[in-house]
Structure 1
Amino acid sequence: MRPLLRLIPLLGLFLPAVASPAQHAAVNPRAATFTNPVLWEDYPDLDVFRVASVFYYSSSTFAYSPGAPVLQSYDLVNWTPVTHSVPRLNFGPQYDLPRGTPGGYVKGIWASTLRYRASNDQFYWYGCVESNKTYIWTGRINNNTNKWTWTPHPPIPTCYYDSGLLIDSDDTMYVAYGKTTIHVAQLSGDGLSQLRTQPVYTAPGNTYIEGSRMYRVNGTYYILVTQPAAAEWVLKSTSGSPFGPYEARVLVDRIQGPIADAGFAHQGGMVDTQEGQWHYVAFMDAYPGGRIPVVAPLRWDGDGWPEVVKDETGGWGRVYPYPVPVPTTSSSAGTETGKEVGVDAGMGRDEFTGGELSHHWEWNHNPDDAKWELVGGKEEGGGLVLRTASVTGDLFAARNTLTRRITGPRSSGTFRLDVSGMRDGDRAGAVLFRDQAAYIGVWKEGGNARIVMVNDLRLTEGTWTTASTGTVAATGPTVGNAQDVWLRIEADITPAFNTNTMRTTTFSYSFDGRTFTRLGKPFGMTNSWRYFSGYRYGVFNFATKALGGEVKVKSFET
């Protein structure tokens, strides 16, 4: 809510690097079904497509940096983040969170689009950000290292609002975009400028539609659009032209979802398997956790319209046949009775030893790169050093808060911190991050460091400026100068959307990593969609008096 096309033949053209057959050829023939949601994490405004046997999924990230994560899958069910299309938000100084100026919360990357172009072996990302400009990044995978590199380009001076990219069979590039009136633009040969654009469809009665995704299937052009936050329409060209005219049909409308107390499945994309089986991937509003993806098979009627395969009640099925055979090497592969929750490779323990942050992590805005570093490999113990990057009393205004999505419906996140490098006035800890937030942390005052639980941190809805810097709700023991401290957040993000139920989070600490003591009362999370992102785990360190202090994050475990 801002708020696939059959791929061209690849024979003889470049392909991006994919895992070797030895890694993914083993198939478990007993794996028959999967269970929705496929990934219980906040990945909204999705764009999904396939390159050979690999599926890719791009998502919104707003002000979080790096932006526009790309997830990879071999079966449409098990997903792992592999890169970000926008390594650093290059949309203006507000995304650097400068002191004394508004930040970019709830701005930045909304519904953008990503596709692979075989003719030059590049991925193209387009996103309209805050102005009449569409930003462009192109990316490539190094075949030897499987590392991605991304390059920015000058923006196109047109806002491709909620855009969907199509790379046609003749390699021509089109973008569908807009709200209520949908436009199609034809791009230049290099994809970096616009040749022409025109309106192709206006919704009857000026009904609000958005979230365009464009395809060509069997010679016919289609555009999927959403009527937020409950329906998805299919626009089908009545001519052989991507410029239409188009007629419309409803794909889903207020369809009952596979989990309780969540919104209706809508705003997504179509994708086919190598075997020619089509699926629709959509998201559901599942606050307080955010918007989570669900998958359903598609069939095509005799007139060339796609239809979602529903369950026996006429709803979105909780269990469907697996889209493709399931690799036995996947730790979350399905079984005869189905897969309960999509779990990616980020589950477990992170000791920050890989030389770079994993793609599960995103900063609250662009970080100050001079104020953080990864130190040492696994042999040296690893760790992430966070030096104070802001002097402020406001966590929302502090740079270098590192976040990651919470996995539902219930999970915990535990940070191990060495706080011996903190200085007078420093604040460090583990935060349940959103526009209504709380944290457990260490406050350094003079020569003493004490554990505190702070709640009632709030942004003002709409302007997204700070309304409250928080209140100390509970105070714990002092922390010895040579002690590590473990800070744990236990979050219940079971959907409670459009209900009066308030899910809660608890905070606790430990000095040995085994025995934890709860601090403060449970924190009630908001179910509001207006911040658009769900709650996240985060770790922070900022100064209230002077820069110079630091903490070392030795591990994170979930």
Structure 2
Amino acid sequence: MTANRAAGRAAYRNPVLPGFYPDPSAIRVGEDYYLATSTFEYFPGVPVFHSKDLIHWEQIGHVLTRESQVNLLGRNSSEGIYAPTLRYHDGVFYMITTDVYGIGNFYVTAEDPAGPWSDPIVIPHGNIDPSLFFDEDGKVYVSAQSGFGETSHIIQYEIDIRTGKALSEPVVVWEGDEGPWVEGPHLYKINGLYYMMTASGGTGPMHREIIGRSESPYGPFEMLPHPILTHNGLSDHPIQYTGHVELIDDVHGQWWALFLGVRPQGGKGSVLGRETFLAPVKWTEDGWPMIDNNQGHVSIDMEVPAVMRQRAQGIKVSSSQRYTTKFSSEGLGMEWIYTRVIPGPDAMSLTERDGCLRLTGNANGLRDGGANVFVCRRQQHHRMRSETRLTFAPGKDGEQAGIAARLSDQSYYSIGVAKKEGQTGILVTAMTQGSGTEAFTPMKEPVPVRLSIRSDEKEYELMYTLGGASAEWISLGTWPAEALTPDADGAFTGVCLGMYAEGTEAGSSAPAYYDYFEYEGFVE
């Protein structure tokens, strides 16, 4: 990040949350900003971030950290926790969301956004994307998506915020602009008027944000005849699929929009999935908020008045960002997540061997879903490398452990140590849309092995070496990055990188020990 002092303006770079951080919702409490995003089948669910300037975000916790809040074991890829809405009222933080194919719509509360958060309060109506609005008269409204595809619309009803009980019957308040998937509603009251804002067009090339206003929270809403945000007419723009907006005012009275977008590579989607972007909001003379209706105002490099971005002054972004996790008994950082459930002590330990992460596989492999053993973090750069050192001696055919770049149960690339037909070796698996290929390279004897997954805009490369830090890497091939994009797979997530272990139907007796995990991303 650079600052242009001569022009009196401070620059920032989009996305402000790179990688799989979709459906942002944000609030301001005094001089502090808090933000939450979707997590789908990953656990813990719904990361919470804190910022002082809307640009630099630090994760402070997760909302859903206990099985009593959500149980994702039965969820397939891209099911589970959908778009959250974060709100604050009378000293209490609220997060409302949907557990798809689970308990449905619910909210939880906390006095501290870092947690702990309460057990869920289930609410009765709506399909996905519920949002809360606290009116000045003490009434609390839920707005939620209902219907499917072309019939999608927004319903609204009043609730008792203490119990979640509906105090009124749901009514249709917003049908949007005749596009499919009118969703992600937010109701605001600004300058005496109620604004209903939603996404429309589906979270793809036609994605857009639309808005209406009324003197009543139930409407009827006068709709602005064009989107307040979309890039659906700018096919060559580096940011696409923009929408699902949250409006927020800063401490200086300036309004901003946080929203999701995608940085396609070669026009074919992005392995990073939907990311969180930031842009200033300009209010028209007749009272409408505007962001970017195919004007190209939202870009990778943005400039805003320096008085609003004092913390940006003098900060520079390096050409690469390296993170090394050295395992200890103190636990893993908040960037680490798991598929559906945190592995129990029989499957994962940070204390069994000093300075190592121990994983022990079970009958659920990466392609099987359920309680598979996968410890991962989000990929945040198209060009990156990841690396680990593994000690693993599989005891029987079918046992394996290594690292993987995972989009879903149907699409991932992995490299690890495995046993096949009584022989131990390096196993590469390329699984795309449920169809997989494997390549096995025998080893003379089980020894510690370094494994690496590297990527650029076009492909992933899987590599290993049996030597030390200066040893030459051996490439076992490259595979197309396009196959791990949500556009190809139909997923709502992005690629996550990490360590896995797989056993057999009879379980696994062979532990896998990881010495470290290193991730280095190269800024585009």
In structure 2, do the counterparts of structure 1 residues 86 and 419 end up closer, same or farther at CA, with 3 Å as the change threshold? same
8 Å CA contact 1:38–1:341 kept in 2: the answer is no
8 Å CA contact 2:243–2:260 kept in 1: the answer is yes
| 2:266 aligned with 1:266 | no
Secondary structure of 1:429 counterpart? strand
Alpha-carbon separation, structure 1, partners of 2:127 and 2:342 = 27
Q: Identity over aligned residues, as a percent?
A: 23
Alpha-carbon separation, structure 1, partners of 2:96 and 2:329 = 27
Secondary structure of 2:257 counterpart? strand
Aligned AA for 1:430? I
- Which residue of structure 2 aligns with residue 292 of structure 1? 275
- Which residue of structure 2 aligns with residue 100 of structure 1? none
Aligned AA for 1:424? K
- Which residue of structure 2 aligns with residue 523 of structure 1? 479
Alpha-carbon separation, structure 2, partners of 1:214 and 1:274 = 21
Alpha-carbon separation, structure 1, partners of 2:69 and 2:100 = 7
- Which residue of structure 2 aligns with residue 427 of structure 1? 400
1:469-515 deviation per Cα after TM superposition (whole angstroms, max 9, x unaligned): x43225153453xx4322111122x4xxxxxxxx2101112332443
| 2:38 aligned with 1:56 | no
- Which residue of structure 1 aligns with residue 123 of structure 2? 156
In structure 2, do the counterparts of structure 1 residues 253 and 348 end up closer, same or farther at CA, with 3 Å as the change threshold? closer
Alpha-carbon separation, structure 1, partners of 2:510 and 2:172 = 56
- Which residue of structure 1 aligns with residue 267 of structure 2? none
- Which residue of structure 1 aligns with residue 149 of structure 2? none
8 Å CA contact 2:273–2:486 kept in 1: the answer is no
8 Å CA contact 1:91–1:108 kept in 2: the answer is no
Q: CA deviation at 1:56?
A: 1.9
Alpha-carbon separation, structure 1, partners of 2:326 and 2:164 = 40
8 Å CA contact 2:198–2:209 kept in 1: the answer is yes
1:369-393 deviation per Cα after TM superposition (whole angstroms, max 9, x unaligned): 233444349xx84332212233669
- Which residue of structure 1 aligns with residue 413 of structure 2? 438
TM-score by length of 1: 0.78
Corresponding residue to 2:309 among 322, 325, 336? 325
1:287-341 deviation per Cα after TM superposition (whole angstroms, max 9, x unaligned): 2221122211111122221012689x644233323573343xxxxx5648x7589
- Which residue of structure 2 aligns with residue 223 of structure 1? 196
8 Å CA contact 2:357–2:515 kept in 1: the answer is yes
- Which residue of structure 1 aligns with residue 104 of structure 2? 133
> What are the within-5 Å matches in structure 2 for residues 91-130 of structure 1?
95-96=72-73, 103-117=75-89, 119-130=90-101
Aligned AA for 2:309? P
- Which residue of structure 2 aligns with residue 16 of structure 1? none
Secondary structure of 1:356 counterpart? coil
Secondary structure of 2:345 counterpart? helix
- Which residue of structure 1 aligns with residue 425 of structure 2? 450
Over aligned residue pairs, what C-alpha RMSD do you find? 3.3
Secondary structure of 2:443 counterpart? strand
- Which residue of structure 2 aligns with residue 282 of structure 1? 259
> What are the within-5 Å matches in structure 2 for residues 316-355 of structure 1?
316-322=298-304, 324-327=308-311, 335=314, 347-353=322-328, 355=330
Alpha-carbon separation, structure 2, partners of 1:300 and 1:177 = 26
Alpha-carbon separation, structure 2, partners of 1:256 and 1:192 = 41
Q: CA deviation at 1:31?
A: 7.5
- Which residue of structure 2 aligns with residue 487 of structure 1? 451
Aligned AA for 2:301? V
1:82-136 deviation per Cα after TM superposition (whole angstroms, max 9, x unaligned): 222222466887x325xxxxx521211122222233x243333332523683133
Secondary structure of 2:373 counterpart? coil
> What are the within-5 Å matches in structure 2 for residues 382-531 of structure 1?
382-390=355-363, 394=367, 396=369, 399-420=372-393, 422-425=394-397, 426-434=399-407, 435-444=410-419, 449-455=424-430, 457-459=431-433, 467-468=434-435, 470-475=436-441, 477-480=443-446, 483-492=447-456, 494=457, 503-510=458-465, 511-525=467-481, 526=483, 527-529=485-487, 530-531=490-491
| 2:514 aligned with 1:553 | yes
8 Å CA contact 1:39–1:293 kept in 2: the answer is yes
Q: Which runs of 5 or more residues in structure 1 are unaligned?
A: 1-26, 98-102, 328-332, 460-466, 495-502
